Amino acid sequence: MNQIKAKHKSLSKDEINELRNSQGRPPYGVQLRLIDTDEPLQRVEEDGMSQGRLQIKGHWIINDYYTENPDAITEDGWFDTGDIATIDADGYMNIRDRSKDLIKSGGEWISSVELENIAVAHPQIRMAAAIAAKHKKMERAPSIDCGERTRFRNR
C-alpha cells in the first residue's frame, strides 16, 4: 500500500535556460560566498542579482600559492578566486567577470566584459575591447575600440 502522493514540478523554458547558463552549485564539502569589492569584510546578498568577489572554501581547496599571490587566501581560510559572481537563493552561481577586468570610473565599478558584449551584439561590430582611459573629471573612464564586420559578396 502506498500512502505517499508523488509530486512533480516542471521548469519553464526560461528557468531551464537560466540554469544552463549558470556555473551550477558547488559540490558537497565546498562553500561559496560573495564579498563586497569595496569593503572586503562585507558579505554580498545571495539574491541572484547582487555581484561580489567570489571566495571558496573546502577541504580540497588550496591552502596557499607557491611563491605567488599570498593575498589570495584570507585570514579565515577562504580562497579569493578573482572572479566577480552572483549566487541565487538556491545556491546557483554565475560568474559575471574577472575582478581585474573591472574599470572604476567615478566611484562605480564597470564591467569591461559586459561593455564588450554589448558592443559585439551590434551587427556591424566583429570584435571589441574595453579599456580604462584617463579622464579629467573621473580619473578613469571606459573606452571601447571596435573592429568592423567585413562584408563578403558571392561572385
- The reply to whether 13-98 and 103-148 are identical in fold is no
Q: What are the DSSP E strand ranges found in the chain?
A: 30-35, 52-58, 79-87, 93-98, 102-105, 108-111, 125-135, 139-148
Q: Are 92 and 85 in contact, with CB atoms under 8 Å apart?
A: no
Q: What proportion of the chain, given as a percentage, has pLDDT over 70?
A: 86
155 pLDDT above the threshold of 60: no
Give the angle subtended at the CA of 142 by the CAs of 137 and 148, to the nearest 5°: 140
DSSP letter at 22?
S
CATH superfamily of 103-148: ANL, C-terminal domain (3.30.300.30)
Nearest CA-CA partner of 121 in 93, 144, 99, 155: 144
**pLDDT tens per residue across span 97-148:** 777 778 888 888 888 888 988 998 998 888 888 888 888 888 888 999 988 8
What is the domain partition of the chain in residue ranges? 13-98, 103-148
Per-residue pLDDT, 153: 57
CATH superfamily of 13-98: Luciferase; Domain 3 (2.30.38.10)
Cβ-Cβ contacts under 8 Å for 151 (sequence gap 6 or more):
none
Q: What proportion of the chain, given as a percentage, has pLDDT over 90?
A: 24
The three three-digit cell numbers of residue 10, written as one number? 516542471
pTM of the complete model beyond 0.75: no
Amino acid, single-letter form, for residue 85 = A
Neighbours of 153 (CB within 10 A): 4
Would the CA dihedral through 99, 101, 104, 109 be positive or negative?
negative
DSSP letter at 113?
H
